[in-house]
Amino acid sequence: MIPFPLPLDAIFLKIGVYLIFLGIGFLFGFVLETSAFNHSPTLAAQFYFKDLRVFKVFFTAIVVAMLLIFAASAIGLLDYNLIWVNPTYLWSGIVGGLIMGVGFILGGFCPGTSLVALATLKVDGIFFVLGGLFGVFLFGETVDSFTYFFNGSYFGRLTLMDFFNLPTGVVVILVTLMALFMFWGGEKMEAKFGGKDPKKAPKARYAGAAVLVISAVTVAFIGQPTTLDRWERLAPEKQAALDAREYQIHPGELLDTMHDHKLNLIMIDVRSEADYNIFHLLDAENITPDEILDHTDEFIAQPANTVFIVMSNDETAATEVWKVMVSEAVPNVYILEGGINVWLDTFGTPYEKDFCAGEKEGVGDDELRYEFTMALGSSCPAAYPDPELAHEMEFEKKIKLELKRAPSGGGCG
């Protein structure tokens, strides 16, 4: 039985994957060339509403890709969280879009179509690519002077589902209907400004529109997998590793990691605010289990060298949060072995003991065993112990950095 998502590098080897990518790129360029997308007057005609084939082709590509992505996600062939979504920088994105739009109108190409023109040795395409390279050089030399604006208005991984707070299926249907409405409007524009007769257009476009609508409704009906669905798919492998204690790290390893500057360490304390205020590790973020799903996009967008350590008073709540994070494709997530209770057992000092009335009796599951007479927060030695203490301990190192996929491209093709 073939596992999903498909491990292409295991099936076709690395050279085979490269050949697949090369073939996709060749076919994409071939389609652009045969559609006359290497001809600048054809591309520029869309801005005069005379020939909107560019708009139709790219909007069709967007809708078809959207339907295939969410259909594959719905039936478990694709993990949507592993897809790189460009982060949103609102104002710099708007300015960049305006610059590209003006360049498109003046030059008759976008970056992708200019490369198609270059490949067919069109003179205007060659000059457009050279101009684009000069623009890249100029941007690289001047970006430091407007870094604040360029990186400002950051919204992270923002999608239509997030912005409108709508289910994925509803957004898929609305985007599909919007595209079809704009195709209809485009035909009206071409008839008015370009003198085209809609009656001469292929009748098959109606069948294509019906297929898109039926596909969108089907995707909405099936729905997207929930966190529980994702965990059930991962459970056979991950639960066994969890039971084998492969993801529970010794307090000494966490202390060592706190001082490893090659890693971007994010500690997540999932206890109640009251327990967190009593004592927590320095720089640990207090995020309750109910809030964790609101942060997964933020976690996924972290650098590839990021390691997440989840902790609770013992391990119960931390383990449940670990399952959620792993199910949502957050990489490099580990659990503090024994939680805060064992951390205090290991690194507690006389300072903490001066404010501790002793251990509670009859403590329930995942409750703080120590009773403090004062809320110390992270203002005590045990919150950030001497790193030399880790070197005096014997423990098995379990943190293995799983490198995640970075963005591979962008633009309009």
Element (H, E) at 76: none
Predicted confidence band of residue 408 (pLDDT cuts 50, 70, 90): very low
- Could you give the CA distance from residue 314 to residue 144 in angstroms, rounded to a whole number? 47
Residue 326: predicted pLDDT: 96
Residue 303 is classified by DSSP as -
Residue 10: predicted pLDDT: 73
47: left (phi over 0), alpha (psi -120 to 50) or beta: alpha
Higher-pLDDT residue of 313, 7: 313
Span 345-404, pLDDT tens digits = 999 999 998 998 888 887 888 999 999 999 999 999 999 999 999 889 999 999 998 765
**Pair of tokens at residue 8:** 């292409």
CA angle 219, 74, 218 (to 5 degrees): 15
Range 54-60 average pLDDT: 88
Largest CA distance in the chain: 88
Residue 404: predicted pLDDT: 55
Decide: 247 and 310 in contact? Cβ < 8 Å: no
- Could you give the CA distance from residue 122 to residue 41 in angstroms, rounded to a whole number? 12
Span 217-240, pLDDT tens digits = 999 999 999 999 999 999 999 999
* Burial category of 98 from C-beta neighbours within 10 Å (exposed 0-12, middle 13-18, buried 19 and up): exposed
Predicted confidence band of residue 5 (pLDDT cuts 50, 70, 90): low
Decide: 332 and 307 in contact? Cβ < 8 Å: yes
Residue 1: predicted pLDDT: 43
- Could you give the CA distance from residue 301 to residue 18 in angstroms, rounded to a whole number? 26
- The CATH architecture assigned to 228-391 reads 3-Layer(aba) Sandwich (3.40)
Question: Distance between the two ends of the chain, CA-based, in angstroms?
Answer: 35
Span 20-37, pLDDT tens digits = 999 998 998 888 888 888
Q: Is the peptide bond before 5 cis (omega within 30 degrees of 0)?
A: yes
Residue 4: predicted pLDDT: 55
- Could you give the CA distance from residue 195 to residue 193 in angstroms, rounded to a whole number? 6
Residue 284: predicted pLDDT: 97
Residue 157 is classified by DSSP as S
Q: What share of the chain is helix, strand, coil (3-state, %, to 5)?
A: 60, 10, 30
With a cut of 80, say whether residue 411 has pLDDT above it.
no
Of 92, 127, 87, whose CA–CA distance to 107 is shortest?
Answer: 127
Span 96-138, pLDDT tens digits = 999 998 999 889 998 889 999 999 899 999 999 999 999 999 9
- Could you give the CA distance from residue 413 to residue 39 in angstroms, rounded to a whole number? 15
Residue 89: predicted pLDDT: 92
With a cut of 50, say whether residue 69 has pLDDT above it.
yes
Q: For the residues of 86-134, what is the DSSP string, one character each?
A: PPEEHHHHHHHHHHHHHHHHHHS--HHHHHHHHHTT-HHHHHHHHHHHH
Mapped onto helix, strand or coil, the DSSP state of residue 262 is: coil
Q: Give percent above pLDDT 70 in the chain.
A: 96
- Could you give the CA distance from residue 100 to residue 363 in angstroms, rounded to a whole number? 63
Residue 22: predicted pLDDT: 93
Residue 279 is classified by DSSP as B
With a cut of 60, say whether residue 405 has pLDDT above it.
no
Q: For the residues of 187-203, what is the DSSP string, one character each?
A: HHHHHHHS---GGGS-T
Q: What type of residue is 91?
A: W
Q: For the residues of 308-361, what is the DSSP string, one character each?
A: EEEE-SSSHHHHHHHHHHHHTT--SEEEETTHHHHHHHHH--HHHHHTEEEEPS
Span 300-337, pLDDT tens digits = 888 889 999 999 999 999 999 999 999 999 999 999 99
CA angle 244, 245, 251 (to 5 degrees): 165
Please, what sign has the CA dihedral across residues 78, 82, 88, 89?
negative
**Pair of tokens at residue 63:** 């809708």
The lowest-confidence range among 4-18, 174-188, 295-309 is 4-18
Residue 321: predicted pLDDT: 98
- Could you give the CA distance from residue 40 to residue 131 in angstroms, rounded to a whole number? 15
Residue 93: predicted pLDDT: 92
Residue 322: predicted pLDDT: 98
Taking the domains of the chain in order of start, what are their residue ranges? 8-225, 228-391
Average pLDDT, the chain: 90
Q: Give percent above pLDDT 90 in the chain.
A: 65
Phi, psi of 388 (to 5 degrees): -65, -25
